[in-house]
Amino acid sequence: MNKTLLDEVIEHNRSFVDDHRYKQIIIDKKIHKKTVVISCMDARLIELLPGALNMKNSDYVSITTAGAMINDPYDSVMKSLIVALHKFEINEVFIVGHTDCGMNCLKTKDIIGELHPLDDEHSKWLDGFDDYQKNVLHSINIIENHELVPDHIAVHGLLIHSGTDELELIKNGYLF
């Protein structure tokens, strides 16, 4: 019988634990740069973003979501952010969008609609965004106007350009 991915994961984990390889990547709980980065869930960003931002895993809390989009002041992204802000004494938040994002101009009716007819309410909830800069600014606006986000938090907006990894400054949160 062919091994499933789950079989491979469990098998790998046994040797990972037995050989104590986990000790090479243990980091402490402290967030050294007291920062939260909210970025897209795109797998290409997992290694690229720390390099582009010059931040290590231990420097920031990472929250990822489709398109770095925050839709609602009470969604799970905001919940994670607010818990992190208070638990880790965060001072700065970076919203980092990226070009060539799968959520840009995504109409979910096109990819889900044939299997699950979507009404307008579901489409509005699931759809992507039309404008990279406006999307980042929209997420910033929700954070800055949230009653549970302390006033001293600087919320910056960046867009990382696919291919060059160049960061475009959309909003300097120190000037708010």
**What residue ranges bind Zn ion (CB under 5 A)?**
40, 42, 101
Query: Which residues make beta-bridge pairs with 155?
Result: 93
Output the CA–CA distances (angstroms, integers) from residue 148 to 29, 45, 85, 93, 172, in the order listed.
Answer: 23, 29, 9, 14, 21
Nearer to Zn ion, 35 or 135 (CB): 135
Nearer to Zn ion, 49 or 142 (CB): 49
Nearer to Zn ion, 35 or 39 (CB): 39
**Cβ atoms 168, 158 nearer than 8 A:** yes
Nearer to Zn ion, 42 or 59 (CB): 42
Least distance to Zn ion from the beta carbon of 120, Å? 24
Nearer to Zn ion, 49 or 84 (CB): 49
- Cβ-defined contacts of 152-156 (< 8 Å, 24+): 152/91, 153/85, 153/90, 153/91, 153/92, 153/93, 154/91, 154/92, 154/93, 155/92, 155/93, 155/95, 156/92, 156/93, 156/94, 156/95
Least distance to Zn ion from the beta carbon of 150, Å? 28
| One-letter amino acid for residue 2 of the chain | N
Least distance to Zn ion from the beta carbon of 91, Å? 26
Least distance to Zn ion from the beta carbon of 174, Å? 26
CB atoms near residue 173 (< 10 Å): 18
Least distance to Zn ion from the beta carbon of 98, Å? 5
